[in-house]
Amino acid sequence: MRRVYIETYGCQMNVADSELVASILRQEGYQILPTPEGAEVILLNTCAVREHAEERVIGRASQLSGLRAHTPNLTLGILGCMAQRLAETLPERAPFVDLVMGPDSYRRLPQLLADTAEETLLDVRLDREEDYLGIDPIRRQGVNAWVTIMRGCDKFCTFCIVPFVRGRERSVPADEILRQVRLLAAQGYREVTLLGQTVNSYSDGEVDFADLLRSVGQVEGIRRLRFTSPHPSDFTPQVIAALTEVPAICPGLHLPLQSGSDRQLELMRRGYTVAQYRDLVRRLRTALPGLALTTDLIAGFCGETETDFQQTLDLVGELRFDSAFMFKYSPREGTYAHKKMADDVPEALKTERLERLIGLQEGISRQINEGLVGRLAEVLVEGPSKRQQGDTRTYYGRSPQGKTVIFPHEAPANSLVQIRVQRATSHTLFGELSP
């Protein structure tokens, strides 16, 4: 049995893909290790959304190549979105890497690992038919299971590299998704998260996203149902109706905004206006009382003026997101913005705007969380927390809204407990077990 270690960078899609890779390799007799020491194969599953992440992966690969001093036959591979994007330059930038493989090539991974070559082995073919049907991922330990329901993206936002590294949109048949969810319920999972780059555009030709939500929500044993990341333009009335009809759907949604300026949204090719986004938020909050809404925001996109940025600040202040992922714009080679648009906002100004945006959102997040003090939260326990209260060991889990809750009472993972919130920060709730 060859020993393999898999390290994951990036979004939940990458986590799900690593679980898929582990399953493919285990079927071929590989042993999956929790640490790189002793591994004969080390695979880094990567993200291409941010330049810093790519530099970090190359640095990490260089560090791990040092393990060849103890394991001379070590095979080092880079998988995923970064591998797809940098396939032509990676062998030169990282000559210590033996294998470069894109996200549609994982079925062929055992074959490539069996090959020997003096040059870096490449397999970055995009395949519009590949949906990894019939492969049951090896799940990470935890209470939530990721279920990939679609791959790729057809939106082609001007700043986004995803369609170029994950290919065009295709949906997994609904029967296969339901088979996976039923299996997860039988294994004891109480929570599942449906994954897709634009998850609410799902359609297998017969079943659309609203139908799928209703079907998954009826699987016995599944208490919580989440999905990420939806696209604002794909929230049909049917999908919103399903949110009100399926009790398992959690009142926590991630709804990427990117900018509060109509001019910027048009340059980004986001497919909606500020007015349309604002109306969608209203309809979602009506459908799901107590909804926690999170978002993505970009500071310093091409041509962003101070007026554009102020409109983003104003909209964030108006809509009051529970939290946000906030980034400075960095051009991704191959995107429309990289090829056709000037990256004309000075780096120092991007940083200054991002700091202002973070400051505003952190204050809003803290106010929202402090408003929960005194209330009860049903918490799905994940396990021991890294924090301690004096000499007392603490445990943590998540509320239906997806908020992290820490409490000083031992509780088994995957159990549901009622916690009375006693204090809050921008990111975390703290409480005591309620009798």
Residue, of 126 and 347, whose pLDDT is higher = 347
Name residue, tokens 């039988």: 186
In this prediction, residue 319 carries a pLDDT of 98
Torsion, CA 154, CA 158, CA 163, CA 168, rounded to 10: 20
In this prediction, residue 119 carries a pLDDT of 62
In this prediction, residue 435 carries a pLDDT of 80
Domain 376-433 falls in which CATH fold? OB fold (Dihydrolipoamide Acetyltransferase, E2P) (2.40.50)
Is the confidence at residue 396, as pLDDT, over 80?
Answer: yes
Is the confidence at residue 179, as pLDDT, over 80?
Answer: yes
In this prediction, residue 333 carries a pLDDT of 85
pLDDT-derived band of residue 127, with 50, 70 and 90 as boundaries?
A: confident
Give percent of the chain above pLDDT 90.
Answer: 75
In this prediction, residue 49 carries a pLDDT of 66
Q: Where in the chain is the domain with CATH 3.40.50.12160?
A: 3-123
Is the confidence at residue 181, as pLDDT, over 90?
Answer: yes
pLDDT-derived band of residue 11, with 50, 70 and 90 as boundaries?
A: confident
For residue 31, what are its two tokens? 């042993």
Instruction: Tell me which of 118-122, 152-156, 322-326, 345-349 is least confident.
Output: 118-122
Residue 315 identity (one-letter amino acid): L
Instruction: Tell me which of 55-59, 157-161, 297-301 is least confident.
Output: 55-59
Q: Where in the chain is the domain with CATH 3.30.750.200?
A: 283-370
Closest to 216 (Cα-Cα) out of 238, 256, 243: 243
Span 245-271, mean pLDDT? 97
Is the confidence at residue 84, as pLDDT, over 90?
Answer: no
In this prediction, residue 50 carries a pLDDT of 66
Residue, of 190 and 81, whose pLDDT is higher = 190
**Residue 48: C-alpha distances to residues 1, 57, 220, 412 (Å):** 32, 10, 37, 37
Rounded CA-CA distance 56/385 in Å is 27
Residue 428, φ and ψ in degrees, nearest 5:
-140, 145
In this prediction, residue 75 carries a pLDDT of 92
In this prediction, residue 10 carries a pLDDT of 81
Mean pLDDT of the chain: 93
Instruction: Indicate the pTM of the whole model.
Output: 0.89
In this prediction, residue 169 carries a pLDDT of 94
pLDDT-derived band of residue 76, with 50, 70 and 90 as boundaries?
A: very high
Q: Where in the chain is the domain with CATH 2.40.50?
A: 376-433
Query: Exposed, middle or buried, 138 (CB in 10 Å: 0-12/13-18/19+)?
Result: middle
Instruction: Please state which CATH class domain 283-370 belongs to.
Output: alpha beta
In this prediction, residue 116 carries a pLDDT of 56
Got the DSSP string for 148-212? Answer: E-EE--S---TT--HHHHH-S-EE--HHHHHHHHHHHHHTT--EEEEE-TTGGG-B-SS-BHHHH
Per-residue pLDDT reduced to its tens digit, 408-422: 999 999 999 999 999
Domain 3-123 falls in which CATH fold? Rossmann fold (3.40.50)
Q: How far is CA 164 from the centre of its chain?
A: 18
pLDDT-derived band of residue 220, with 50, 70 and 90 as boundaries?
A: very high
Strand partners, 398: 380, 404
Per-residue pLDDT reduced to its tens digit, 273-327: 999 999 999 999 999 989 999 999 999 999 999 999 999 999 999 999 999 999 9
Span 227-245, mean pLDDT? 96
pLDDT-derived band of residue 389, with 50, 70 and 90 as boundaries?
A: low
pLDDT-derived band of residue 406, with 50, 70 and 90 as boundaries?
A: very high
